Structure 1
Amino acid sequence: MDRPKPNARKRLLANKLRRLRENAGLTQVEAGAPMRFNKNKMSRIELGYLPDYNGFVALLDRYGVIVSDYDDWVRQYDRAFEKGWWHAYGLDDMSYISLEADADEVRVYEFGIVPGLLQTEAGMRAAFAGAREPLSPRRLENEIAVRLRRQARLTDDDPPLKFHAIIDESVLRRPDLVPHEQCAQLEQIIERAELPNVTVQVVPINHGFHSGRNGSFTILSYPRLREPDIAYIEHGFGSLQFEKAKDVNVARLVFRHLADLALDEPDSIRLIRQVIAET
């Protein structure tokens, strides 16, 4: 039976172990030799298949981590094996939620729908109604509860989640909701934009072709964990996650380009108010 794939927290911790090994100037074979971890086992550890506690501590010692710093590493180890809050809603550790849960900042470009962290409940129901496979009533309510809990990080966390959304103007004008619900959705975007940790920009339709027309994407940042950014794309057949520096750097460059292309936030809010008036 195949072992379950490592969750995001295990992979993040595994990346740190790999960097410790590299900073110590050790190959995988050299690092694992005292514990009789062969190259295959070391490779799996650095992919997120973490060893037992004693093996983990032995690796810290092998990499020269001083004992007084063990507590922080052990906390990260214990947390990597904890079940996330999303399990109560039937979601596993391989979902996007597990990546977002540890992020300090999320940047999203959305070409198709209002970003989930800005949606009203009516907007969520409309988005889920368009899913390829219809959701059962229970699953639908769970998905909405998860999205509302994610949104709470914008206001309830200390510090709150930093969120920068760039939205194509066509998203604001799609008749996905009845008029009064559509106005409420647009008003909520404006309300969220007033938060100091939230930035909203709109790319006007009259810009014509640009790199954002290729599709939506998300960049997640982890400064408190001192981990590199992750780029994420969701598409009709599943999702893709990019961790290689060259791939993530391309995503950052495209996002910066779209931020320059978009209206600044005050002008974006004025455009959203204009759309409300026309609805």
Structure 2
Amino acid sequence: MARGKDIDGSMSVPTFYGKELRWKREEAGLSLDAFLKGSFYSKTYLSDIEHGERRMPLDLAQHADQKLGTDGFFERNCEVVRKARRGPHAAYFEKALEAEKHAESIELWSPIIFPGLLQTAPYARALVQATHPTASGEWVEEKVTARLARARLFEQDHSTPEYWAVLHESLLSDPIISPREMAEQLDQIVELAERRRITPQIIPRTCGAYPLKAASIMVMTFPDAPPLIYTEASYSGDTIDDPALVKQYRKAYDRLRAVALSPEASLAMVKAAAEEYRNGKLWDRLE
């Protein structure tokens, strides 16, 4: 059997990889359905990979090597493709970044900072500068621009995922940017909510103990792939696909949402906080 070609970079690496996969699949006489038998993925998912539009998960690469007899070619080179797709975002975020573009729903719990998809430029800039205090201004702006670009997801009417953000009240009352900038940050959340692009809920400071108090998570579901959980800290992140663990996180998130304020009450709180900042007043933490 002829060995697959080495990825040579003569075209986009993800495109080359996808073409190689399609060529080997068709050479083996396998339809999309026949190739995917025994995996958890759909024809749409595989088609996206073959067109260079989606990364190959490790388990699917291993499935391809087993199905096509390619002696580990796709498993070895899926890491090459991952590196080739890398942009200004952190390496540990790559899988979650691609996943959110294809997600049917994104459910997020963020107790410490506003989620990246909801951040304004001043807020994102303050976070990047605080996390990387010695970075150049050009590097910081590259990171900020890349983060803001992710929000284009909310402009794609035909493919916008259902986005549910559970936030802690401290995000409203503990500003990291100026009052004017905080008003703009909160206005952005209000605008997205009123356009029905997101559903925000607030966990009150007086809530006491609640699920996921020590973690921030993003739960992503897909029409053509198993669900994923993404957890993140300042300099690391982890994508979880183990079914038992995903189920545990999923249940915890549902319990967390149950103790949050209703979407209507939460949006009213965000609007009130924005008005306080717009008027130059600090949010009353004892209210």
Q: What SS does the aligned partner of 1:164 have?
A: strand
Superposition pairs for residues 61-76 of structure 1, below 5 Å? 64=34, 73-76=46-49
Contact 1:154 1:197 in 2 (8 A): yes
**Whole-Å Cα distance in 2 between the matches of residues 63 and 86 of structure 1?**
27
Please report how far the alpha carbon of residue 71 of structure 1 lies from its aligned counterpart in structure 2 after TM superposition: 9.5
Q: Structure 1 residues 143, 259: CA separation in 2 closer, same or farther (over 3 Å shift)?
A: same
Supply the distance in 1 between the matched residues of 2:45 and 2:112 (Cα, whole angstroms): 41
Paired position in structure 2 for 1:98: 98
Match of 2:51 among 68, 71, 78: 78
The one-letter amino acid of 1:77's match is E
> Equivalent residue for 2:66?
none
User: Is residue 252 of structure 2 the alignment partner of residue 254 of structure 1?
Assistant: yes
Alignment of 1:33-182 (within 5 A): 52-57=21-26, 58=28, 60=30, 64=34, 73-79=46-52, 80=54, 87=86, 89=88, 95=94, 96-132=96-132, 134-182=134-182
Separation (CA, whole Å) in 1 of partners of 2:210 and 2:91: 35
State the identity as a percent: 21
- TM-score, structure 1 as length reference: 0.70
Query: Retained in 1: the 8 A contact 2:18–2:51?
Result: no
Gaps of 5+ in 2: 1-5, 8-13, 37-41, 57-80, 283-287
Identify if the C-alpha distance between structure 1 residues 53 and 93 changes in structure 2 by more than 3 Å, giving closer, same or farther: farther
Residue 189 of structure 1 is matched in structure 2 by 189
Shift, 1:81, TM fit: 6.5
Deviations 1:71-116 (A, max 9, x none): 9855542324797996564766962322222223211100110111
Find the counterpart in structure 2 of residue 17 from structure 1: none
Alpha carbons of structure 1 residues 53 and 264: separation in structure 2 relative to 1, 3 Å: same
Give, as a single letter, the amino acid of the residue that structure 2 aligns with 1:97.
L
Amino acid in the other structure paired with 2:50: Y
Contact 1:86/1:92 (<8 A) preserved: no
Distance 2:32 2:170 in 1: 55
Contact 2:229 2:246 in 1 (8 A): yes
Q: 1:240 maps to what in 2?
A: 238
Indicate which of 217, 228, 241 corresponds to 1:230: 228
CA distance in 2, matches of 1:71, 1:132: 39
Contact between 1:86 and 1:146, CA under 8 Å: does it hold in 2? no
50-59 or 201-210, which deviates more: 50-59
CA distance in 1, matches of 2:51, 2:222: 19
Distance 2:158 2:141 in 1: 27
- Deviations 1:230-266 (CA, angstroms, capped at 9, x unpaired): 0000113411111011111112111111111111111
Change (3 A) 1:164 1:81: closer
Distance (whole Å) between structure 1 residues aligned to residue 92 and residue 108 of structure 2 = 21
Number of matched residues?
231
Paired residues of 1:212 and 1:258 also in contact (CA < 8 A): yes
Contact 1:202–1:268 (CA under 8 A) maintained in structure 2: yes
Alpha-carbon distance between aligned partners in 2 of 1:74 and 1:49, rounded to the nearest angstrom: 9
Q: Normalising to structure 2: TM-score of the pair?
A: 0.69
Residue 172 and residue 93 in structure 1: after superposition, are their counterparts in 2 closer, same or farther (change >3 A)?
closer
Contact 1:114 1:172 in 2 (8 A): no
Q: CA deviation at 1:196?
A: 1.9
Counterpart secondary structure, 1:149: helix
